[in-house]
Amino acid sequence: MSFQYPLKLSHSRQPGFDNYLTNGNEEALDSLLKLLGTSDSPAPLYLWGSPGCGKSHLLLAACQQMSRQSRSAIYLSLRDIERLSPLMLGELQQYELVCIDDIENLCADKAWEEALFHLYNAISQQQHKLVIAANSSPGDLPAELPDLTSRLMWGVSYHLQQLDDAGKQLLLIQMADEKGMQLSDDASRYLINRYSRNINKLSKLIDKLDHDSLSRQQKLTIPFLRESIS
């Protein structure tokens, strides 16, 4: 079979509030929107849950909304913390909104824990906003600095729920549509049942299907999906 490579592949997905599926996380979303909309300095917001529950999506969406309003915002993931320096946290207090993801990775590192503690205090003094995300609740996070644990438990905390299978189907259809592809209910159900229920794996699969369907000029039929994921 000969393959036709597309001249232009579709763009990556941009996380926003308009493409966030709440699926039981309505209260957390409402609190985040209220935090962004107030001129006061509310308590920091802490979002936690297992991978794929939408933490990063919400943090990035919050930064996007602030930027659209010409307000300063920054998103920082600590997933690859070994490539970063704790000194950089001291530079973040200048932003009106600071979103820090994957903070479980700084636990048990004295320099990082102290840097985050001081950032908490600085943001509060400047009446800026802070949103933090982690894989566990504030009380279960293995931070060794007592003052940091106290700060983490001071704000409002929400446990984000995973999408159920119906929600994952909607997400697949949505991601396909954003790339200009049509994915039927039957096809989305097939991918969840035969490929994976892991959100990150499904997202990468959509990118692969986008490339394959453009290259082969084929629609996302079940026979095509079967061939692509085999």
Residues 177-201, mean pLDDT to the nearest whole number: 91
CATH 1.10.8 domain locations along the chain: 165-229
Instruction: Tokens for 18, please give them.
Output: 């308009």
The 10s digit of each residue's pLDDT in 83-101 is 999 999 999 999 999 999 9
Residues 78-82, mean pLDDT to the nearest whole number: 95
Residue 41: predicted pLDDT = 67
Do the beta carbons of residue 88 and residue 74 sit within 8 Å? no
pLDDT above 70 coverage of the chain, percent? 94
Any idea which fold 165-229 has? Helicase, Ruva Protein; domain 3 (1.10.8)
Residues 6+ apart with CB under 8 A from 82: none
Half-sphere exposure of 5 (CA within 13 A, CB side): 0
Residue 90: predicted pLDDT = 93
Q: Which residues pair with 46 in a beta bridge?
A: 132, 157
| Residue type at 175 in one-letter notation | M
CATH 3.40.50.300 domain locations along the chain: 22-159
Residues 28-42, mean pLDDT to the nearest whole number: 88
Do the beta carbons of residue 217 and residue 198 sit within 8 Å? no
Do the beta carbons of residue 109 and residue 143 sit within 8 Å? no
Asked if the 22-159 domain carries CATH number 3.40.50.10800, the reply is: no
Instruction: Tokens for 64, please give them.
Output: 């996007």
Q: Which residue do the tokens 């802070």 mark? A: 130
Residue 218 predicted with pLDDT over 90: no
Residue 158 predicted with pLDDT over 50: yes
Do the beta carbons of residue 139 and residue 48 sit within 8 Å? no
Residue 13: predicted pLDDT = 66
Do the beta carbons of residue 95 and residue 7 sit within 8 Å? no
Residues 6+ apart with CB under 8 A from 111: 86
